[in-house]
Amino acid sequence: MKPLAFRGTYSDWRLVKTRGVVQVVMEIPLADADSAYQILGGMPDASKERWFAVAPLSDAKQLPVLSLPAKREWRDLEPQQQAGIRCNEPTFIAFLQEQKFCDWHETNNAADCVRLICGVQSRSELSTNQKARMIWHGLDNQFEAWKIAERA
């Protein structure tokens, strides 16, 4: 299971006047560096701000083992969950813009475009409306095929 927390010691505080923030520097034991890097999501991306909580530990040796539940397979997710995930993926948005141009042009929004294509008012209907579910799965399959074709 993927760890959710790591330990470190507070070692410095730096003022960044030009951005109106401070940087809090934590030192992490080298043995824990890979875990910390994974938890933090790899290299920072200035365009995708991620927030974290920091809390003091009374005894760093007693750090509780926290972990995520096992990752679910795509096919095990409900269609509305799949659609919600897809609508936030830049490649899916590019697919809609390129392959579903008429629908995209009418909405200019991934979630609205999916609802229009599937003929529903809400993505939650993808789980209750059999026809909409089938249309969604077809759209998702087209997207997967398009991704493969784009890489070829």
Same domain, 96 and 40: no
Same domain, 131 and 89: yes
Domain assignment present for 95:
yes
User: Which whole-number Å values give the CA distances from 28 to 51, 97, 148, in the listed order?
Assistant: 18, 44, 40
Query: How far apart (Å, rounded) are the C-alpha atoms in residues 112 and 14?
Result: 44
Strands 9-16 and 21-27: antiparallel
Neighbours of 115 (CB within 10 A): 21
Domain assignment present for 1:
no
Same domain, 15 and 56: yes
- Which residues pair with residue 71 across a beta bridge? none
Same domain, 26 and 89: no
**pTM to 2 decimal places:** 0.55
**pLDDT tens track for 1-54:** 667 787 888 889 999 888 888 888 888 888 888 888 888 888 887 777 778 888
Q: Which domain covers residue 116, as residue numbers?
A: 74-151
Same domain, 95 and 141: yes
- Total domains in the chain come to 2
Domain assignment present for 3:
no
Domain assignment present for 56:
yes
**pLDDT tens track for 56-82:** 777 656 555 555 566 778 888 999 999
Same domain, 38 and 85: no
